Amino acid sequence: MTQANVTRSGEGQTAQALHSLLIGYRSARALYVAVKFGIADLLKKGSKSVTELAQATGTHAPSLTRLLRATAALGVFEEVAPAVFAQSERSAYFCTDHPSGMYYMALLLGSDCEIAAMHGLEYAIQTGQPAFDHIHGMTYWTYLAHHPQYEDIFQRATAAYSFIDNEAILQAYDFSAVRTLIDGGGGLGSFLLAVLNKYPSMHGILFDRPVVIAKAKTAIAQSNCADRYILQAGDLFTSVPPGADTYFLKQVLHCWDDEHCLTILNTCRRSMQPHSKLLICEVVMSSVNIRMLDGLYDLTMLVRNPPEVHERTADEFRTLLTKAELHLSRIIPTVGRHSIIEATLREASVR
Give yes or no: residues 50 and 137 share one domain. no
Give yes or no: residues 72 and 118 share one domain. no
- Cβ count within 10 A of residue 93: 20
pLDDT, tens only, 127-158: 999 999 999 999 998 999 999 999 889 888 88
The predicted pLDDT at position 17 comes to 85
Helix orientation angle between 190-198 and 210-221, rounded to the nearest 10 degrees: 40
Give yes or no: residues 285 and 163 share one domain. yes
Query: How much is the average pLDDT of 284-295?
Result: 89
Query: How much is the average pLDDT of 253-263?
Result: 95
Determine the distance from the C-alpha atom of residue 95 to the mean position of all C-alpha atoms in its chain, rounded to a whole number: 18
Is residue 283 predicted with pLDDT exceeding 90? yes
Is residue 349 predicted with pLDDT exceeding 80? no
- Cβ count within 10 A of residue 135: 16
The predicted pLDDT at position 2 comes to 56
CATH code of the domain covering residue 250: 3.40.50.150
Give yes or no: residues 77 and 137 share one domain. no
**Contact (CB, 8 A) for 34 and 68:** yes
pLDDT, tens only, 9-32: 678 788 888 888 888 889 989 999
103 assigned to some structural domain: no
Dump the DSSP string for 168-195: HHHHHS--TT-SEEEEET-TT-HHHHHH
39 assigned to some structural domain: yes
67 assigned to some structural domain: yes
Domain-terminating residue out of 62, 97, 132: 97
Weakest mean pLDDT among 126-130, 292-296, 336-340: 292-296
Question: Nearest 5°: phi and psi at 328?
Answer: -80, 110
Query: How much is the average pLDDT of 203-229?
Result: 85
**Contact (CB, 8 A) for 169 and 341:** no
44 assigned to some structural domain: yes
The predicted pLDDT at position 5 comes to 55
The predicted pLDDT at position 120 comes to 93
Query: How much is the average pLDDT of 229-236?
Result: 94
d(C-alpha 106, C-alpha 104), whole Å:
5
Any idea what DSSP says for residue 92? G
Dump the DSSP string for 207-255: EE-HHHHHHHHHHHHTSS-GGGEEEEE--TTT---S--SEEEEES-GGG
Rg (CA), the chain: 23
The predicted pLDDT at position 293 comes to 87
Q: How confident is the model at residue 222 (pLDDT cuts 50, 70, 90)?
A: confident
The count of domains in the chain is 2
Query: How much is the average pLDDT of 210-222?
Result: 82
35 assigned to some structural domain: yes
Domain of residue 82, residue span: 3-97
Dump the DSSP string for 128-175: SS-HHHHHHSS-HHHHHHH-HHHHHHHHHHHHHHHHHHHHHHHHHS--
Give yes or no: residues 93 and 178 share one domain. no
The predicted pLDDT at position 351 comes to 41
Is residue 3 predicted with pLDDT exceeding 70? no
Q: How confident is the model at residue 215 (pLDDT cuts 50, 70, 90)?
A: confident
Is residue 171 predicted with pLDDT exceeding 80? yes
Query: How much is the average pLDDT of 88-105?
Result: 93
**Contact (CB, 8 A) for 322 and 260:** no
107 assigned to some structural domain: no
Give yes or no: residues 148 and 230 share one domain. yes
d(C-alpha 309, C-alpha 163), whole Å:
24
250 assigned to some structural domain: yes
Give yes or no: residues 217 and 343 share one domain. yes
Give yes or no: residues 91 and 53 share one domain. yes
Helix orientation angle between 61-73 and 24-36, rounded to the nearest 10 degrees: 120
pTM score, whole prediction = 0.82
Query: How much is the average pLDDT of 299-311?
Result: 90
Instruction: Name the residue with higher pLDDT: 63 or 3.
Output: 63
Domain-terminating residue out of 47, 72, 97: 97
Give yes or no: residues 86 and 122 share one domain. no
291 assigned to some structural domain: yes
Is residue 348 predicted with pLDDT exceeding 50? no
d(C-alpha 343, C-alpha 325), whole Å:
10
Provide the β-strand partners of residue 185.
Answer: none
The predicted pLDDT at position 33 comes to 97
Give yes or no: residues 78 and 176 share one domain. no
Give yes or no: residues 151 and 279 share one domain. yes
Give yes or no: residues 203 and 161 share one domain. yes
Domain-terminating residue out of 64, 97, 130: 97
Residues forming the active site: 254
